């Protein structure tokens, strides 16, 4: 009986210790959720194809201690990469979710012939902040991307499409802890899509 009471007491003390732990505060109090419907994504895809656009920012939102952006990227078929096609972003990490198409993507931190992008570059100003372009990646890892695949590219990691078998379209999530990318809300997105 004494042993049973001791066990119950130990469990009670452990439970109290667990529940007495401070609860972390939300990093973004009363921040609204952001919804992007499929019709809006489809409109970005159509615009990309019609205007031969590669990367478009759909939204960029403040989530408290970080920013998160959603982009739509469409790249046409490519047999060989153009010069200095390696991209690297100093502060913004990216997550790709391939919607359609297939491509070969090489990733790695060791850039060959890296050149810093100027602050006036549109990608730096509006999409993914400061970074570099390079001629190639030394000792990179090759990924064969296809519809449904996801790849996470941390800030500071070069990424390089070396071949695109068929037009590739992917949704890109940009994680922006330093908030270097300007915000873009639904109204700004609609205004962008309405421009000729």
What is the phi-psi region of residue 42: left when phi exceeds 0, alpha when psi lies from -120 to 50, beta otherwise?
alpha
**CATH for 61:** 2.60.120.10
- The 8-class DSSP code of residue 36 comes to -
Q: Is 69 exposed, middle or buried (0-12, 13-18, 19+ CB in 10 A)?
A: buried
129 found inside a domain: yes
Give the range of the structural domain holding residue 85, as residue numbers without chain letter. 36-194
Residue 13 is predicted with a pLDDT of: 47
For the chain, the first-to-last Cα distance in angstroms comes to 82
Residue 84 CA to residue 135 CA, distance in Å, equals 4
**pLDDT tens digits for range 87-107:** 999 999 999 999 999 999 999
164 found inside a domain: yes
Half-sphere exposure of 178 (CA within 13 A, CB side): 10
Half-sphere exposure of 49 (CA within 13 A, CB side): 9
Residue 25 is predicted with a pLDDT of: 78
177 found inside a domain: yes
Residue 16 is predicted with a pLDDT of: 47
Closest CA to 141 of 177, 186, 185, 106: 106
Residue 7 is predicted with a pLDDT of: 46
Whole-angstrom Cα Rg for the chain: 22
4 found inside a domain: no
65 found inside a domain: yes
Half-sphere exposure of 17 (CA within 13 A, CB side): 6
Residue 4 is predicted with a pLDDT of: 54
13 found inside a domain: no
Closest CA to 42 of 176, 189, 153: 189
21 found inside a domain: no
Per-residue pLDDT of the chain in tens (196 residues, 90 and over written 9): 555 545 454 454 454 455 556 666 777 888 899 999 999 999 999 999 999 999 999 999 999 999 999 999 999 999 999 999 999 999 999 999 999 999 999 999 999 999 999 999 999 999 999 999 999 999 999 999 999 999 999 999 999 999 999 899 999 999 999 999 999 999 999 999 999 9
CA separation, residue 68 to residues 43, 78, 102, 161, 192 (Å):
21, 29, 25, 23, 19
Q: How many domains does the chain have?
A: 1
């Amino acid at each position: 009986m004494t042993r049973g009471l001791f066990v119950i007491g130990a469990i009670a003390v452990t439970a109290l210790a667990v529940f007495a732990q401070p609860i972390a505060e939300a990093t973004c109090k009363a921040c609204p959720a952001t919804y992007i419907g499929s019709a809006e994504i489809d409109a970005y895809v159509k615009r990309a194809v019609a205007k031969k656009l590669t990367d478009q920012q759909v939204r960029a939102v403040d989530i408290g201690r970080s920013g998160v952006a959603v982009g739509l990227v469409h790249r046409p078929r490519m047999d060989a990469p153009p010069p200095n096609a390696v991209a690297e972003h100093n502060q913004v990490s990216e997550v790709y979710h391939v919607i359609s198409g297939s491509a070969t993507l090489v990733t790695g931190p060791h850039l060959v012939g890296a050149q810093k992008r100027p602050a006036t570059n549109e990608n730096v100003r509006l999409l993914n902040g400061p970074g570099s372009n390079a001629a190639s990646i030394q000792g990179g890892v090759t990924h064969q991307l296809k519809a449904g695949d996801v790849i996470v590219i941390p800030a500071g990691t070069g990424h390089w499409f070396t071949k695109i078998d068929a037009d590739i379209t992917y949704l890109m999530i940009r994680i922006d802890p330093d908030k270097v990318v300007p915000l873009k809300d639904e109204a700004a997105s609609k205004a962008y899509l309405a421009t000729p």
